[in-house]
Amino acid sequence: MSFIAIAILAPLAASLLILLARRMPVLLALLGITLSLVASLTLLFTVSSGGNSELLLPGLPNMPLRLIATPLTVLLSTMVAIVGSFVLVYAVGYMKSDSEKVRFFATMLLFIAAMQTLVLAGDWILLLSAWELIGLSSYLLIGFWYQKPGVKFAATRAFMVTRSADLGLYIAVFILIASTGSSEIAVTLNTTGSPAIAAGLLLLIAAMGKSAQTPLHDWLQRAMAGPTPVSALLHSATLVAAGAILLIRTAPMLTPETLLVIGIVGGVTTVVTGLIALGESDLKRMLAASTSSQYGLMLIAVGAGVPMAALLHLIAHAAIKSSLFLGAGVFQHSRESTMLEQLRGVGRERPKIFIGFALAALALAGIPPLSGFFSKDAIIAASLNSENIEILLPFALAGTLLTGGYMARALSILWRKNQDQKNNQNKPLTGLVWMGAGLTGLVTLAIILAAAFPAIKTLLNFPLVENISTEFLPEILGLVAALSGLFLGWFVPVRRLLGFLLPWANNGFALAGGFDNLMVRPAMAIAHGCEKLERIFYQGVLTIGRAGLKLGRVARRTDEQSIDGAIFSFVQGTVNLATKARTLQSGLIHKELAISTVATAMILVISLIALMVY
């Protein structure tokens, strides 16, 4: 069997087995992800020696489903499998005392299988399916603790916002298939002209939903209601990544106009959500806002016409952000909270975890020689060389500055203690070994991943930046921005940094009441309007019945108070009349005949009246 199929089917089969067997969820989960990882690595080995492959599956008439192994898809698949493995190892410890391990691991593996399908998909129908299925699995995972207050709303919100944006993907897919006659992604990338512009902008909408770009960023912070391993997974290599991956894969088709819009959306997002992260008072919500901000940077790179830079940052970010979440999860278990105030000084009590967290934070800020430095550098270089340098470069630098700022602020709170704070006795943690193992693996990746960048560049054979006229300018600019951010975040209180913006930032920069006011309320208003109309219709039908009743003078027992009664009496009357008119036995067929006679008469009379009126 093809390794492409194994990469997807192994986690899927493990998920089903866990559900059916209802035992050994941990073992089956680790087995499933390991098989998937082996398959991805084998594929990586094969494609690096030039062996692309394809798997055709039956789909809709003339539109087969296909899975493809190309350098890009296989690289992403490997990333999913690696991050997935470490997160699952960590989850073994994190979920140790949870009673619903079966449901948890089954859903996590479904999630990973859906993501593997998404990255390996070679046709639009399969990609769209996987795209929606990761929406479903994240709904199930965010809502995992469905009994806790607010969780169900968070899950519903996440699904609704992304699904609304998914309409963009649906329509883009229809446009692409309609204009090329094929559902194969590679073929549709040849689209040009206005279909390409329309499809590009619609794809951007879909990507904005999944990657939580402004103004659709608010659901991601709410999604923190789920267990921490879920956040680690859906913020790094899976759900959120899908948006950026979509744009990276369709980059050859994007027109200059679309690219500019993408760059601006990314730029605005990186600044807006960066500010939100800076003002956030909850560690996990801060990390969530930071995810939007980092994906904003990736969109800047795509907008600058260098999707390769976005891809490098996506991979580096996957390792870094999952490390940060895993660290945050340990802190959360130590103090039973994710509020930064509650976590003050927790780093001193868990120094090893703190070191891992801090290394990942510095990597995200872009400090050499950690991986984030190189990927962010590629983005700044891309914006420097872009035609729209005056728009994209300030955004990219501001995003970098803000990253340093919020990471330093978090580190400072986690490390520094108040004078009067007593030495909290941390409760002993179960499963720390598993959590530590998962975290160590991901932090190591976050540190050294940059060493693999040259190999990735060769593998993908994408040009990174075409003219290298800038020498060390990007590195210097990036480092200055990152260091200033770190300095400000560590030494200056956030009230001074944000000033009057702080309350607004805490509110998620919601415009005009956000999703609730702009989407939910109008939809509900229309719905209630329809319901009112329904009542009017219902009354109308009954009124017509009553009119017919008077017209035919067939009423015997009319309940004038209740209009509903009228219709009942009408039929009763009809039946009575029929029985009287023809003294036949009452029976099925006669009843029908009688009613049909009267009904036909009624129709005739109504048509006559209608004719006279007009």
Partner 1 sequence: MYPIVSITVFLPLLGALLVLLMRKSSPQVAHGIGIATSGATLLGALVMWSRGVNETGFAQVEQIDWMPSIGAAYRVGVDGISLPLVLLTALLFFVTFIYSAKVRKQSHSFVALMLLLLTASIGAFTALDAILFYVFFEVSLVSMYFMIAQWGHEDRQRAALMFFIYTFLGSLPLLLAILGLYLGSDPYTFDMRVWISDPPLDGLAAMLALIAMLITFAVKTPVFPFHTWLPAAHVQAPAAGSVILAGVMLKFGTYGLVRFAYQMTPDAFREAGVVILTFGVVAALYGAFAALAQTDLKRLVAYTSINHMGYIIIGVAVAALATDPAIRATALDGSVLQMVSHGLVTGALFLLVGMLQDRAHTRDMAQFGGLIKVVPVLGWSFVLAAFASLGLPGLAHFPAEFQIFLATLQVEPVAIIAILGIVITAGLYLRAIAQVFLGEVGDKWTAATMPDLNIRELLALAPLLMLIIVLGVAPGWVLDVIHKTTIALPF
The residues of the shown chain that bind partner 1, judged by CB under 8 A, are: 58-62, 125, 128-130, 132-133, 136, 139, 143, 146-147, 149, 151-153, 155-156, 159-160, 163-164, 167, 170-171, 174-175, 177-178, 523-524, 526-531, 533-534, 537-538, 540-541, 545, 564, 567-568, 571, 588, 592, 595-596, 599-600, 602-603
Q: How far is the CB of 156 from partner 1 (least distance, A)?
A: 5
Secondary structure (3-state) at 378: helix
Question: What would the DSSP string read from start to end of 405-452?
Answer: HHHHHHHHHHH---TT-----PPPPSSHHHHHHHHHHHHHHHHHGGGG
Shorter beta-carbon distance to partner 1: residue 368 or 565: 565
Shorter beta-carbon distance to partner 1: residue 46 or 572: 572
Taking the C-alpha atoms of residue 402 and residue 276, their distance in angstroms, rounded to an integer, is 10
DSSP code of residue 223 = G
- Provide the Cα torsion 162, 166, 167, 171; round to 10°: 170
Shorter beta-carbon distance to partner 1: residue 168 or 229: 168
Instruction: Determine contact, residues 570/560, Cβ cutoff 8 Å.
Output: no
Q: How far is the CB of 143 from partner 1 (least distance, A)?
A: 7
Shorter beta-carbon distance to partner 1: residue 152 or 457: 152
Shorter beta-carbon distance to partner 1: residue 473 or 525: 525
Shorter beta-carbon distance to partner 1: residue 214 or 569: 569
Identify the helix (H) or strand (E) that includes residue 556. Answer: none
Q: How far is the CB of 523 from partner 1 (least distance, A)?
A: 7
Q: How far is the CB of 444 from partner 1 (least distance, A)?
A: 36
Shorter beta-carbon distance to partner 1: residue 155 or 278: 155
CA 455 from centre of chain? 29
Shorter beta-carbon distance to partner 1: residue 151 or 429: 151
Distances (CA, A) of 13 to 5, 6, 17, 603: 11, 10, 6, 61
Shorter beta-carbon distance to partner 1: residue 422 or 535: 535
Range 480-497 burial, b when 16+ CB lie within 10 A, else e: ebbbebbebbbeeebeeb
369 backbone dihedrals φ, ψ, rounded to 5°: -100, 25
87 closest CA partner among 286, 290, 231, 239: 231
Instruction: Determine contact, residues 545/567, Cβ cutoff 8 Å.
Output: yes
Q: How far is the CB of 199 from partner 1 (least distance, A)?
A: 11
Distances (CA, A) of 55 to 75, 123, 184, 262, 590: 17, 11, 12, 32, 64
The set of long-range contacts for 456-463, using a CB threshold of 8 Å and a minimum separation of 24, is 456/75, 456/311, 456/312, 456/315, 457/308, 459/47, 459/48, 459/71, 459/75, 460/71, 460/72, 460/75, 460/308, 460/311, 461/71, 462/307, 462/308, 462/311, 463/306, 463/308
Taking the C-alpha atoms of residue 164 and residue 514, their distance in angstroms, rounded to an integer, is 14
Q: How far is the CB of 571 from partner 1 (least distance, A)?
A: 5
Shorter beta-carbon distance to partner 1: residue 341 or 559: 559
Exposure of 29 in the CB half-sphere (CA atoms within 13 A): 27
Taking the C-alpha atoms of residue 501 and residue 175, their distance in angstroms, rounded to an integer, is 41
Shorter beta-carbon distance to partner 1: residue 151 or 547: 151
Q: How far is the CB of 259 from partner 1 (least distance, A)?
A: 25
Taking the C-alpha atoms of residue 66 and residue 68, their distance in angstroms, rounded to an integer, is 6
Shorter beta-carbon distance to partner 1: residue 487 or 538: 538
Range 256-273 burial, b when 16+ CB lie within 10 A, else e: eebbbbbbbbbbbbbbbb
Q: How far is the CB of 96 from partner 1 (least distance, A)?
A: 22
Shorter beta-carbon distance to partner 1: residue 581 or 599: 599
Q: How far is the CB of 525 from partner 1 (least distance, A)?
A: 10
Taking the C-alpha atoms of residue 557 and residue 580, their distance in angstroms, rounded to an integer, is 16
Q: Which residues on neighbouring strands pair with residue 55, listed in sequence order?
A: 67
Distances (CA, A) of 579 to 112, 455, 483: 70, 92, 96
Residue type, 121: A
Q: How far is the CB of 299 from partner 1 (least distance, A)?
A: 24
Shorter beta-carbon distance to partner 1: residue 41 or 577: 577
Shorter beta-carbon distance to partner 1: residue 107 or 294: 107
DSSP H helices in 3-100: 3-21, 25-48, 71-94
Q: How far is the CB of 420 from partner 1 (least distance, A)?
A: 38
Q: How far is the CB of 191 from partner 1 (least distance, A)?
A: 14
Q: How far is the CB of 146 from partner 1 (least distance, A)?
A: 4
Range 242-255 burial, b when 16+ CB lie within 10 A, else e: bbbbbbbbbbebbb
Secondary structure (3-state) at 123: strand
Question: What would the DSSP string read from start to end of 248-278?
Answer: HHHGGG--HHHHHHHHHHHHHHHHHHHHHHH
Q: How far is the CB of 532 from partner 1 (least distance, A)?
A: 9
Q: How far is the CB of 582 from partner 1 (least distance, A)?
A: 19
